[in-house]
Amino acid sequence: MTAFRGNKMRENPAEAEWKDISYDAVPREEIASAAEAPEKETVPSGKPAKKSHKGRKRVQDVLGGDYLSKKSVVDNVPFLIYITVLALFYIANTYNTERMYKQIERTKTELKELRFEYITARSSLMFESKLSELNKRTQAIGLKETLIPPYKIFYSGDSIQTGNR
């Protein structure tokens, strides 16, 4: 009877009411028993069917070691070793790449620091080698700038000549 009510609620309420009022050729009890009849036929009488646990069997085979002794596994041992070596090579390559990347980044940082140090030293040297800075430092020790311009001394064998520039 519940199946009949469920179907009645899904339908349009006006149609459901009309069906209740109208005279059906088949009584409601027969409809309810017909809806429940296939369910009773599918359930076997006696003990209920027990589900087989294929996953549990597979886990027991792997943990017990029976899985490794199967012919399909034994035949594929060289392929499994190849896959294992390939996986180890891939992992080692990844670690090597990460190590190289870290080393490159460390070298880049060191290069930046050395470049900054070079620029600082070069600007300091240019400042210190200016004529005015040299005069200040030499006057502190007691040296003075010469007022006579420099000239060349030519030597050719026996004679010495001077040339002004």
Q: What are the boundaries of each domain within the chain?
A: 1-44, 116-164
Mean pLDDT by 10 residues, the chain (165 residues): 53 59 56 55 58 74 74 86 97 98 98 98 95 89 87 80 65
| pLDDT value, residue 147 | 86
| pLDDT value, residue 47 | 63
Q: Which tokens sit at 105?
A: 């980044």
Specify the DSSP class assigned to residue 160. Answer: E
Tally of residues, the chain: 165
Q: First-to-last CA distance in the chain?
A: 130
Beta bridge partners of 89: none
| pLDDT value, residue 107 | 98
| pLDDT value, residue 88 | 98
| pLDDT value, residue 9 | 53
